[in-house]
A and B are shown apart, each in its own frame.
Chain A
């Protein structure tokens, strides 16, 4: 008999509906999995077992009354245990952003994305590890230690939503929330062999997401397949009066099978196959594109000519925004304070001591890029080149419906590989940054495994607000292939 934790989200939802299991049983199963695996994986920063069991009990009551008279629709996520990246606020539950500067912080409110899932009956198991303030591509920048990749524990899970990706891969939860500012949902999804959706900028409320780069930050989700991502996405998405950048555009409720692959135009950008990338990554991605072709899609090579400029553009714009956003962490209103002789000394010591080295590096980079005399040359120029990167996508989507490309140049690299070489780490993001700069959605999903048995991801990128096409196209691939069903032997 299948273990409960081996069910995917939709199967679990079905089991709840039919009375085959209860939310309390699913929650206990997840908590037992966490107990058994998380010493090795270290995906969670905080667990909320009491809250989870209480939410599960309410969900069970809701499901029971739905079964008696099912006149009101029951959300698919009702009763489903989820994990939440620790940059999203959950009222009264420690939220640290993986930083010592927020140690002990208990938010006075809950992020809209999380709140909507709770209202729909989801169960929150806890908060997952992240690179400090979501700044990183490996989860090694967490002040609370790295998360380990469930496929190979000495490898990174990717980042910054590495805790969420590892928790889904290790079947400690049915799905998890992440955030993607420069690839932080898609790259860990790729490294951990799960499916991860980066939403369009403006699609999901950022209220209660502790800001990193405000013009780039998006809330996304990770699960075992695209069909499981859809109910999470549709509940989170849509206008929120508490975030003025959250769009009023309606979120289409589409059936995943409702896609005509025959004639679907898929573009493969030539700039995404670069020297030095792992051969197996290229091979698997091209094979996956071949699967679409065999399903009737029309594949063509396209060009996104400014791709190689995404790294310098992103690493000026995101740090500039971060340097402003992180000014609020000063030891006055939240987090610990390091006492000093006067206010200035307290600021300097609190921030100097409690921010980690990558966060300080980006704050300084951003401060410099915005400073008098350098603004035009760095920040201003980066904003202009961002226009060109955005235009690359607009032009491409005149010719194709979707773009297919690798998520990262390699599979999960060993913990410690990039040591103290920030630029080498930044270059890991070369394939994920452009979508954030353009604000378009992307979905990363497994399309193979390398000779070390590590997952290889591919991403589809769609025009702004076309998440439905991504979910449908990924679902079509996953209906004819089985890569997404592989599980680490943990």
Chain B
């Protein structure tokens, strides 16, 4: 099954990827080909087959709930492209002008 260029734009938007028009065209073609290949899975009868999300037996191991040192703030912030007053700096997300 083929993807339309509008669908590709929608997926790119969901995935927060700005694409050039050339990329949109190329991905439309390539993703369609890949999905077409993947369509062979539909022919497999899986009506009684459970899904595998992990190959390990599901467990939720617990550890003693004791405090331990965490990575120092400066160490984490040293990788930030922009920081301010010990925090990650980002453009305003709230409109504060009104």
Residues of A within 8 A of B (CB): 104-106, 108-109, 201-202, 215, 241, 244-245, 247-248, 309, 311-313, 315-316, 323, 327, 330-337, 340-344, 346-349, 351-353, 355, 357, 360-361, 363-365, 367-368, 371, 377-378, 380-388, 390, 420, 422-423, 426, 437-439, 464
| Cβ A330 vs Cβ B16 within 8 A | yes
Known: A352-B19, A383-B52. A423 touches B33 (CB 8 A): yes
Q: How far is the CB of A86 from chain B (nearest CB, A)?
A: 16
The CA-CA distance from A365 to B7 in the complex, in Å, is: 12
Within 8 Å CB of B56, what residues of A? Answer: 201-202, 245, 247, 439
Q: Report the interface size for chain B: residues with CB under 8 A from the other chain.
A: 50
Known: A330-B16, A364-B8. A377 touches B42 (CB 8 A): yes
Within 8 Å CB of B37, what residues of A? Answer: 311-312, 423
Residues of B within 8 A of A (CB): 3, 7-8, 11-12, 14-19, 23, 26-27, 30-31, 33-35, 37-38, 40-42, 44, 46, 49-56, 60-61, 63, 71, 75-76, 78-82, 88, 90-93
Known: A334-B80, A351-B18, A353-B18. A364 touches B27 (CB 8 A): yes
> Which 7 pairs across A and B sit closest by C-beta, in order of nearness?
A439-B55, A352-B18, A383-B51, A384-B46, A337-B81, A348-B18, A334-B79
Of A327, A357, A426, A438, which contacts B34 at CB under 8 A? A426
| Cβ B81 vs Cβ A390 within 8 A | no
The CA-CA distance from A344 to B11 in the complex, in Å, is: 15
| Cβ A313 vs Cβ B18 within 8 A | no
9 contacts between A and B (CB under 8 A): A108-B71, A215-B53, A342-B91, A352-B17, A361-B27, A367-B15, A384-B52, A388-B46, A388-B49
Most chain A CB within 10 A, of B15, B41, B44, B54, is at: B15
The CA-CA distance from A360 to B55 in the complex, in Å, is: 27
Query: Which residue on B lies nearest to A332, using beta carbons?
Result: B88
Within 8 Å CB of B17, what residues of A? Answer: 348, 351-352, 355, 360, 363-364
The CA-CA distance from A336 to B81 in the complex, in Å, is: 6
| Cβ A384 vs Cβ B90 within 8 A | no
Q: How far is the CB of B70 from chain A (nearest CB, A)?
A: 10
The CA-CA distance from A337 to B81 in the complex, in Å, is: 6
Most chain A CB within 10 A, of B3, B14, B33, B63, is at: B14
The CA-CA distance from A346 to B42 in the complex, in Å, is: 38
| Cβ A384 vs Cβ B49 within 8 A | yes
